[in-house]
Amino acid sequence: MTEAFLHYLWKMKLFDFKKFRTTEGEIVSVIKTGDHNRDAGPDFLNAKIKIGNTTWAGNVEIHIHSNEWNQHKHQNDVAYENVILHVVYENNTEVKTKKGVILSALEVKGLFDHNLFERYEKLQASTQTIPCSNLIYSVKEVTISTWLQRLLIERLEGKVKFTSTLLQKNKGDWDLTFYQLLARAFGTRLNADAFQQTAETLPMQVLAKNKKNKLIIESLLMGCAGWLNDSFKDEYMQKLQKEFLYQQEKYKLQAIEKKYWKLLRIRPASFPTLRLAQFAALIYQSSHIFSKILNTDTISELRKLFKSNCNDYWAHHYLPEKKTEIHSTNLSQNFIDLLIINTVIPIVFLYGKEKGDELIQSKAINWLEAIPSENNYIISNWKKIGFNVKSAFDSQALIQLQKFYCNKKLCINCAIGHSILKQ
């Protein structure tokens, strides 16, 4: 037995409520189970319980064994003073509140379908990446579809929360926030922090003052990122270094240390130096890009805003002074789509929310539906068990499901898992 499973039974009202009696024999009627509390304090807040002839309003605490109340020191905690019912799988001791009041105990062992627990244990014991992969076929399509829609919004709200925090830090400056978020996205997972630090070190106003000169913009980004501190033989790198030293003195710029950048386990096309050059080219070619995005409707128009051309030097280099065969320096459509999914859509959705404009919010969601599904190991696993993953709307929802439910075996918090358990 697990406490989480008892929480699930209580929340979903899957106990045999008609048989509820306290350990003293009084009838227990649950008028309101309460609000599930995932933070510190009692497990369910604002419950309403009738014990005998008295109706109580307060909180409910749940344990496997009643002596866990004392083990967790609840008897000394004022936060548990308003607990009106102690729900336990097995009652093995009497417990009291901080004021010495004896708590009414409800033992629930035997008051639920044991087959439910067996199915729960099988899901918890599964070694599959998707614990319910052998059972999900039995779940109604409408249940899955509705749940995925909710998961998409849940994932989007998580990204919006990060964006909102940065926006507050930037005192409501949307352009600055987008600049920093876009820089972070260019760094992908391994170099996101270093890219964002570079953007925070290099004021957007400095870039704006030099927006007509691609070499200066690139030198500013490369320099503030710490990539121009070495000695160079290549003429192009010498130009960048010379220009940055001048601009650094002019604007009193700082540079982050080169050691913060990671190269291991990264494909050359994603090396930070090439990404910095691509970011510089985008800034050079796209002034007021956030305003342009807000005025864009179709996904094809949106993608065009991210088309840019690097200096020819990078067509033969991924790293400074290490010449390679010629390769493309253009941002791939796949990478542009990832920028849109992870950066553009969250900030546009937040902008619409802050401005009270539902059309802008809907536009952000529509873009997700217009972008093809991402291709990664998570989506591959869902496709293997028969899921038809068409758009980024689908793939983002499934990524949320995998990371925050399947990987943590939180089947009891999942609509799909709940449907399987109830069968």
pLDDT of residue 384: 94
Which residue in this structure is represented by tokens 């409800």?
A: 106
Instruction: For 131-186, write each residue's pLDDT tens digit.
Output: 999 999 999 999 999 999 999 999 999 999 999 999 999 999 999 999 999 999 99
Q: What is the pLDDT of residues 329-348, one digit of tens each?
A: 999 999 999 999 999 999 99
pTM of the model: 0.84
pLDDT at 422: 84
pLDDT at residue number 325: 96
Per-residue pLDDT reduced to its tens digit, 275-318 = 999 999 999 988 889 999 999 999 999 999 999 999 999 999 99
- Output the average pLDDT for the chain: 94
pLDDT at residue 372 in the model: 96
For 379-388, the pLDDT digits (tens) are 999 999 999 9
List the one residue out of 408, 419, 373 whose CA is nearest residue 147: 419
Looking at residue 287, its pLDDT comes to: 82
- Check residue 395 and give its pLDDT: 97
CA-CA distances (angstroms) from residue 357 to 220, 341, 350? 37, 20, 10
- Per-residue pLDDT tens over the stretch 76-100: 999 999 999 999 999 999 999 988 8
pLDDT at position 327, please? 96
